[in-house]
Chains A and B, each alone.
Chain A
Amino acid sequence: PAAAAVAVSDESVYRSASGLSGRKGAGDQEEEDQPLQAVLVADSFNRRFFPVTKDQPRALLPLGNVAMIDYTLEFLTSTGVQETFVFCCWMASKIKAHLQKSKWCRPSSPNTVHIITSDLYRSLGDVLRDVDAKSLVRSDFVLVYGDVVSNIDISQALQEHRHRRKMDKNISVMTMIFKESSPGHRSRCEEDDVIVAVDSKSQQILHYQKTQGLKKLQFPMVNSCIFGSLDEFEIRHDLLDSHISICSPQVAELFTDNFDYQTRDDFVRGLLVNEEILGNQIHVHVTKDGYGVRVSNLLMYDSVSSDLVRRWVYPLTPEANFTDQEGHSCTYSRHNVYRASGVSLGHGSQMEENVLISCDTSIGANCYISNSVIGDNCIIGDNVVLDHAYIWNHVHIASNVEIIQSVICDKAEVKEGVTLKKQCVLAYDVVIGPNISLPEGTVVSMHHPEEEEEEDDDEFLSDDAEVGHRSDKTKQKVFNPAEVGAEGKGYIWKASSLDDTEEEELSQCLWGRAAVHRHGTVFHMEVLGTLQRGLEENISCDNLVLEINSLKYAYNISLKEVMQILTRVVLEYPFQQQGSHLTPSQYVALLLPLLKKWAPVFKNYVKRAQDHLDCLSAFEEHFLEQESHWAAMVKVLMNMYELEILEEEMILRWFSQGATGDKSRQLRKNQGVSTV
């Protein structure tokens, strides 16, 4: 997959790229004077914003009425970057058109922007491999995503990075920039919550882990010699990942060498694991000032928008009009109310606080607006209540509408008497109403969710031209008036309408609810696969243990979970192979040899008293689900006892210990007859 990265690309870029590589060997002394370069990844490689990003790439979604990529470019330019490579994949032509119109592509821009497009980028890894293949970067470069909003001054971090690189040649490959921010702050993304262990003196990262909503975290001491030799290290949970990193050219090379690195997390994890072998280090730079947040889901979109309006990102404020768009200047008045030219406000309407209204929008009488952003040329009726509403351009909202914490995309229409509860999304061109109330978390799009399912994979790659083509093809499905109102147009997107793997991604998609058990299930599948292979290829139990252990680290699973998942996998194994119609006697016949074979694996994990109980509780759980196989249970348990997987004492303790439900009490009774 790595080789595929070099692909369809802009001719002009090729020319300049070859020009650059010619100069590459200019010598190390000049490194300091070389213009600072940046790699901007204008694609998220995920579908968080999905029904919305179907029509517009994420980097172009408006935040405070300015496309997100403009914030990133402004950040790069103000920090002194002179050459930026913008990598686009999804809807590349739109991004390209946007950039060519913007001030970044004017000849007077201090930051030269090269746009590189390819349909074959599937991850950050592919992009960086391409950077390496085309040898675009000559010295240290800044790596950001196209949806980062920041005003952090990275010059100090850059200096530190260069200093480190000078001191020990090429050991430090990356400096990640973090912003101090207390846990629970709205600008901290739940998904990106990290815990970092850092050497206090050198600021080197010793351990990096996403919390994934867990309350208890485990720090492996595998690299104990590092921990041990240090006087002092910090474990910090008050850091907000700004997704800005300063990379050495080796980063691109390392991505080429390790073609399995997909994301920056893979890279960081890989580098930390192999630190002793490769000797590469990653450092952090923690900043107290400035603002740096990635808009990774709609919840973040909400908080970044409100931070922007509350001027946390100064000098990137709405009235600064840093993109130099004609007619987009607005005035700023008390309580953070911004108004562009041509805004009309009806009698008795109130703009409470933190409101941004872009040009030529008219608002009717007796409206109440707070904490909202409204785009160009919108028409809003009378008696409308908007709170935390993000209304993009050319939206029509009729009278008596109430919208709370929702996003309404371009050209959508909301008819009379509609109520949008929290976290609703109306994608492009949707019509809702009249007189309907959408429940919390409703997502409405003009694209039918099923059309998505049918052509899943190529969808991700397709160009916008293809999208247009597809919409012709869409069968004329009828809009459901119960869902979108009598005159409504649009389909409701439900998480349940998608298959399982998609569901996890989508449920956290727009508003970013964290999926906590995700790693558990993947781990489950992996363990199952390992055991299956072990059986087929007759792998010894020691090796199986080794593999499971490595999986445990890869997915960051606690020992207890490993045990429970292992127990369940083994117990379910016969069903897995033969289907669920087995009779109890058949089940036992299949299971017993397996247990015998894998007993050493169990013994490796089940050691302490608590382990036995955990194993038993998994055992109990399994049989609670398989009521018809209770007859087999005793035999299995006996067998496990005989194989010395479980101790008698523990079984008795488990037996006497509290049964939590009616069913489990029954289960115990059933089995108790024989054991006792």
Chain B
Amino acid sequence: MPGPYKETDLTERVEAFLSDLKRGGTGAGPLRGSAETARETTALLRKITAQARWGSAGDLMEIIRKEGRRMTAAQPSETTVGNMIRRVLKIIREEYARSRGSSEEADQESLHKLLTSGGLSEENFRQHFAPLKANVIEAINELLTELEGTTDNIAMQALEHIHSNEVIMTIGRSRTVEAFLKDAARKRKFHVIVAECAPFCQGHEMATNLSKAGIETTVITDAAIFAVMSRVNKVIIGTQTVLANGGLRAINGTHTLALAAKHHSTPLIVCAPMFKLSPQFPNEEDTFHKFVSPHEVLPFTEGNICKKTDLNHVPTFGKSFSDLDISSLSFFFFLNTSHFSLRISGEILSKVNVHCPVFDYVPPELITLFISNIGGHAPSYIYRLMSELYHPEDHEL
């Protein structure tokens, strides 16, 4: 009886993934990169495909949609998860169409057909094909291999964009940008300015990593972005999500950076793998923002009193401590005036409202170029990539 055992194992995996997503990110973005999240999601979907009970493509899609809704609800800001679910749904559609012997491509080409046919309805997926499972798993494996290579594919294009003795500015820490710059540094010599990206200051980590790779690196505060921009030849940033309109949802401070770049007519290049492309639009307010604990902005506490007490300076009835017989005595500890001021600060702290958003929206008109694992694109071209990657019916899970 491997069936039920397998199924509990599967739900266990899904639950673990869900709670991981929910806890993911203590503030400084997700604990792991979105590439890893994408891979994990896809691997999990492959497991579902392999182990869940389903008879036809329709059943499978229903199962994946159901799990997908839960996964996206667990951490709405992590759009990669939803994107991978849409990719897998698209794979199932394609494999099903192939098994039936018809090509779905033709349907999308003509606007007239799109309007009249209304796409394949759910009933059409009811037919049973024995090899479908193997085919779908095969295709998902291909997707996984594609995901493995995304960062390298982007990094490979670095030499086309970065020239010698250029000054590059970036913000915060993006694993993709880091790989991109490091790749370029193998051949070219250039200078990177990193905006620290307060309050999480991932920029510090980025700068350390870059300088370890032998790149000349400078860290600046976010406030200095505009002042330094005039010296910069190119701005290269990463992003959390590429939205359907070609805009970005990126780490806080990116909008400032993009506006400064626009003002100085500095090109702004976004390194974004395809799996970050989301059919979401920036007006979906509920899921767009992510607010984390205000701890980073305003610490819960500041300082402590009477740290590192020196025995000789503790007041004991006016005598210095060394004069007294230690064993028979006790010494007093006064909650003195410095304590009083701390008490005040504590009380004020509890009255303050602090907000700590994580993301910025960057409108598409501020972006010059997207570099993805399949090449460079203008923001206006994003809609086209979107229709290649996802089926229009899957935009809403």
Contact = CB atoms under 8 A, between A and B. Distances in A.
Interface of A: 77-78, 106-110, 151, 153, 179-188, 195, 200, 215-222, 224, 227-228, 232-238, 288-291, 303, 310-315, 320-322, 329, 331-333, 336, 353-354
Nearest to A111: B19
Contacts of A329: 73
Contacts of B343: 182-184
A261 B292 CA distance: 41
Tell me if B's interface is mostly helix, strand, loop or mixed.
mixed
Contact of B346 (A181, A217, A333): A181
Contacts of A228: 326
B319 to A, nearest CB: 14
Interface string B296-333: 00011111111111010000000000000011111111
Nearest to B14: A108
Contact of A109 (B15, B304, B307, B328): B15
A291 B293 contact: yes
A322 B301 contact: no
Given A182-B349, A217-B333, A314 B27 contact: yes
Contacts of A237: 304-306, 335, 339
Given A180-B301, A291-B293, A312-B293, A322 B22 contact: yes
Given A182-B345, A228-B326, A108 B309 contact: no
B8 interface: yes
Contact of A333 (B285, B342, B344): B285
B69 to A, nearest CB: 11
A186 B25 contact: no
Interface size class of B (residues with CB under 8 A): 35 or more
Contacts of A236: 304-307
B26 interface: yes
A329 to B, nearest CB: 7
Given A219-B331, A333-B286, A185 B301 contact: yes
15 contacts: A153-B26, A182-B343, A183-B305, A184-B346, A195-B333, A216-B335, A221-B329, A232-B308, A233-B308, A237-B305, A289-B26, A291-B300, A310-B354, A315-B22, A353-B353
B395 to A, nearest CB: 20
Nearest to A234: B307
B11 interface: yes
A235 B12 CA distance: 47
B333 A219 contact: yes
B345 A221 contact: no
Contacts of B22: 315, 320, 322
Contacts, number: 163
A224 B327 contact: yes
B165 interface: no
B109 to A, nearest CB: 39
B294 A233 contact: no
Given A218-B332, A236-B305, A313-B293, 9 more contacts: A108-B11, A179-B300, A183-B305, A186-B347, A215-B334, A218-B333, A219-B332, A310-B354, A322-B19
B309 A234 contact: yes
Interface of B: 8, 11-12, 14-16, 19, 22-27, 73, 285-286, 289, 291-295, 299-309, 311, 326-335, 339, 342-347, 349-350, 353-356
Tell me if A's interface is mostly helix, strand, loop or mixed.
loop
A274 to B, nearest CB: 18
A222 B327 CA distance: 6
A201 B387 CA distance: 61
Contacts of B311: 227
Which 7 A-B pairs give the minimum distances between C-beta atoms? A184-B346, A184-B343, A186-B350, A238-B304, A314-B293, A182-B346, A185-B346
A217 B332 contact: yes
Contacts of B309: 233-235
Given A237-B304, A237-B305, A333-B285, A315 B25 contact: yes
A227 B307 CA distance: 15
Max chain B C-beta neighbours (<10 A), residue from A215, A310, A321, A333? A310
A227 B300 CA distance: 31
A107 B308 contact: no
Max chain B C-beta neighbours (<10 A), residue from A186, A238, A312? A238
Given A180-B300, A315-B25, A332-B286, A200 B308 contact: yes
Contacts of A332: 286, 289, 291
Contacts of A110: 12, 15-16, 19
Nearest to B11: A108
A502 B184 CA distance: 75
A288 B306 contact: no
Contacts of B347: 184-186
Contact of B327 (A187, A221, A290, A311): A221
Contact of A311 (B294, B302, B328): B294
A495 B333 CA distance: 34
Contact of A107 (B8, B289, B304, B339): B8
A110 to B, nearest CB: 6
B70 to A, nearest CB: 9
B377 to A, nearest CB: 33
B329 A182 contact: no
A354 B354 CA distance: 11
